[in-house]
Chain A
Amino acid sequence: MAISTDTKRGRALGRTASRRATEVVVRALVFACGWLAIVILAAIAVFLLTNGLRSIDEVGLGTMLTGTSWYPTSNNAQFGFLPLILGSLFVTGVALVVSVPVGVGAAVYLSEFAGRGFKEVAKSVVEFMAAVPSVVYGLIGVAVLIPWVRTTFQLDSGMTALTGGIVLGVMSIPTVLSISEDALHAVPESLRQASLALGNTRWQTTYKVVVPAASSGIFAAVMLGLGRAIGETMAVLMLTGNAAVMPTGVFESVRTMTGTIAAEMGEVVRKGLHYSALFSVGLVLFAMTFAINLAADLVLERQRKRWRR
């Protein structure tokens, strides 16, 4: 019997064949989408590099990384990244001082001491905190924190590394808290029970057994909070005053890497040297956050393997 589409059997065969064809097409599509993440990440690096190439060629990466003055628009333009990198580090340092004790402390409380109701409420509250856009945190900082910093520390201007850092710290609390809590939650219940059975109090169990067991996860939480703080743009842009000088303390105005890109990219000549230098700043920022996230990821991976028994 000849197989053709007008016999019943032929149609049936045709349907299987078309399903098989769909399967092949879909498989290709699904694979392509799966690999897209690598493509995009690589594309980001390539685009930053190619657009920053002019500044790397003309000024030199070493000169830029070690240069202490950022005067991108003067006749004798200087593209030193050090003030910007230090600015970012100062702000991030303040942010960590705020977010680590509060975030980790609250995570330990929620995981080890809090009742279920309190935990549920806290979870939604933290989700809300994470959902508030950074520009709104910036606005609150402008309205509340800038005047407060100025009067409390008797400064000429309330736009300082401290101001930006505090707001940034609040913004990174959700990251630090939720990842620390996940790490604490992953510690097997049997460890706690063993410790309690030996006569330890809850707190002794917590600091002698649970926290050490979750330490790598908590470390990763701090790293991710750090990554988030270094990469934050809008709040710091609105709060730190953006003076591109070498910072010496947290009570001064600083300019971060993110703030510099955001503030200057709108006014540069496309494809000019300044434009290219801003891409190089972006490249440095990308490299830093990439390293931080990679480290956090590897630590988390190790932790996951440890409790998968």
Chain B
Amino acid sequence: MNRVQRARFAEKVAKTVLGLMAVIVLVTAAAVFIYILSKGYRAISWEFLTTRPLKLGREGGIGPAIGGTVWLVSLTALFTLPIGILAGVYLSEYAPRNLLTRSIRLAITNMAGVPSIVYGLFGLAAFVMLANFKVSVLSGALTLTCMTLPVVITVTEEALRQVPQDLRHASLALGSTKWRTVRKVVLPASMPGIVTGSILGLARAAGETAPILFTAAVFMSPQLPRSPLDRVMALPYHIYAEVTSVPNWSEDLIWGTALVLVAGISIVSVAAGVWRSIQRRKIRW
């Protein structure tokens, strides 16, 4: 073999091996998807989605767990959206280029890397114990807020940066104050990116178990919480608790729970993505 042939051969081998890696990723993801779907679909019924669990979850439904997760995520959204969006506005519109701003950015990327169980510990110490919110939806939502904040801040900043500088200048030249410019011009133009990115972050929060383990979750609860200071069942915690502490857990029902969780997260994420691309088509600079 001469050099050219060798090079061509190496090209083929490399392409095959690297392609194989990509195929492994696709196949793994497809296998995960199909496995959850095929194992879980049998349990899905109106009763399963709405009624409460019986016999420690071996029978009955997961209504309170679905409701609990919705409660947790809604409350998290209520806290994290205003704070995260304002923080993103700060970084994109107000922050000076100095050491403090760099440290804030560093803090945000590091917050995203803090293990979820550490957030759980923090929530236990700060919200459950010190603030005395007890084990409750409120404590859990505050813990999840700390976790999703970096996501919301980052997507907001990125979306704001995409807005052309001309728009800001035009608004300021008309005599608007800085905040009016942000509120009337910059934020509306970047809403699709902010909303979609935030929804993706919140959808992830719905699947988190470790942060709510000692801050919000309860194994069995016949009904939904009546106030933010009640404990809740949650879908991810329900899966964990059943698998690890209930002998003879019902395979059908737990896979059904997993399917509901994954399908919920996926549907919301895909819908958010589609909505963003529709909105983006409307905005032309």
Contact = CB atoms under 8 A, between A and B. Distances in A.
Interface in A183-237: 201-204, 206-207, 224, 227-228, 230-234, 237
A38 B214 contact: no
Given A30-B94, A261-B117, A138 B111 contact: no
Interface stretch (A2-10, A63-71, A72-80, A290-298): A290-298
A49 to B, nearest CB: 10
A171 to B, nearest CB: 10
A119 to B, nearest CB: 9
10 contacts: A23-B179, A41-B110, A102-B21, A102-B25, A128-B33, A139-B243, A203-B14, A203-B15, A238-B244, A265-B213
Nearest 5 A/B pairs, CB to CB: A231-B115, A133-B207, A34-B90, A105-B21, A293-B113
A140 B207 contact: no
Dominant secondary structure at the A interface: helix
A133 B106 CA distance: 26
B149 A133 contact: no
A251 interface: no
Interface string B86-120: 11011101110000100110111111111111111
B239 A293 contact: no
Nearest to A207: B14
B116 A105 contact: no
Contacts of B204: 131, 133
Interface size on B, as a range, is 35 or more
Interface stretch (B60-68, B188-196, B220-228, B261-269): B261-269
Contact of B118 (A19, A48, A50, A136): A48
Nearest to A104: B21
Nearest to B90: A34
Interface of B: 7-8, 10-11, 14-15, 17-22, 24-26, 28-30, 32-33, 35-36, 39, 83-84, 86-87, 89-91, 93-95, 100, 103-104, 106-122, 124-126, 129-130, 146, 149-150, 153, 177-180, 200, 203-204, 206-210, 213-214, 236-237, 239-240, 243-244, 251, 254-255, 258, 261-262, 265-266, 269
Given A122-B26, A136-B261, A128 B266 contact: yes
A33 interface: yes
A292 B109 CA distance: 12
Contact of B243 (A43, A114, A122, A142): A142
Contact of A140 (B36, B83, B180, B251): B36
A13 interface: no
A290 B110 contact: yes
Residue of B95, B258, B261 most packed against chain A (CB within 10 A): B258
Interface in A237-287: 237-238, 258, 261-262, 265-266, 270, 278-279, 282, 285-286
A122 B258 contact: no
Contact of A202 (B11, B22, B177): B11
Nearest to A234: B209
A230 B113 CA distance: 10
A139 B39 CA distance: 11
Given A121-B26, A135-B258, 18 more contacts: A22-B179, A34-B87, A44-B114, A47-B121, A47-B126, A126-B29, A131-B262, A131-B266, A133-B236, A133-B262, A135-B240, A136-B261, A139-B258, A173-B28, A233-B117, A234-B209, A237-B244, A266-B214
A153 interface: no
A123 to B, nearest CB: 11
B118 A35 contact: no
Contacts of A120: none
Contacts of A238: 240, 243-244
A95 interface: no
Contact of B117 (A105, A118, A262): A262
A144 B90 CA distance: 47
A142 to B, nearest CB: 6
B36 A136 contact: yes
Nearest to B113: A293
A283 B125 CA distance: 13
Given A122-B22, A234-B210, A265-B214, A127 B269 contact: yes
Contact of B18 (A38, A106, A128): A106
B153 to A, nearest CB: 7
Nearest to B153: A37
A128 B113 contact: no
B14 A134 contact: no
